Chains A and B, each alone.
Chain A
């Protein structure tokens, strides 16, 4: 069974930093691309970042480029999202999601971790 468990969310001040983690199990992590998708409270879904299976292909949404850094550790079956220069508008549930094979879309999602940016 595919399992994705996010952690690292919490309350942070504007301008601060957080590092989100996603622990993956139940599949061959090193062979699958991964995504981060976020959802502000009461709002819709927003794709944030993509990282290829080897970590060589990385993409960001314009709204986070330059502040967010995605990475992965295939030896530890883990995905990360370093969030710097936090803004109020970064307040959201952040989901880790596995890319489907040949589908170019998130096929399996974690339960999410909540980031609240407030002074």
Chain B
């Protein structure tokens, strides 16, 4: 199975400051159709996961533009330009290029 390694696993951030989460894959996530199926999810405390970003950099409907995704091949990044209180939670990357789909370990974002 493809292993996704996130860093850091814990991310204390001051409100209004930027945050960045890395996701590295054990193998290339470029699919035969040319797409890269790397996605980002947010899970707020006590809630179900919510997809934020699909295929590296496409924001889902309703996701604030302070969230952005980038990367290619095996290295990917989720950035929050200015952290707000509602951003508290755990963030997961997920790949669905290779079966089975796999998730990273999660990065817990907390406010300093």
Give me the interface of A with B, judged by CB distance under 8 Å: 37, 44-47, 50, 59-62, 95, 100, 103-112
Contacts and interface: CB of A to CB of B under 8 A. Distances in A.
B102 A109 contact: no
A117 B50 CA distance: 27
Given A44-B106, A112-B48, A104 B100 contact: no
A112 B50 CA distance: 13
- Secondary structure class of chain B's binding surface, majority of residues: loop
What's the interface size class on B, roughly?
A: 20 to 34
A70 to B, nearest CB: 13
A103 B97 CA distance: 10
A47 B103 contact: yes
B54 A100 contact: yes
B24 interface: no
A52 to B, nearest CB: 13
Nearest 8 pairs of A and B residues by beta carbon: A104-B96, A109-B48, A47-B101, A45-B103, A103-B54, A105-B39, A44-B106, A104-B37
Interface in B20-55: 37, 39, 41, 43, 48-51, 54-55
B55 A103 contact: yes
Given A61-B100, A105-B37, A100 B51 contact: yes
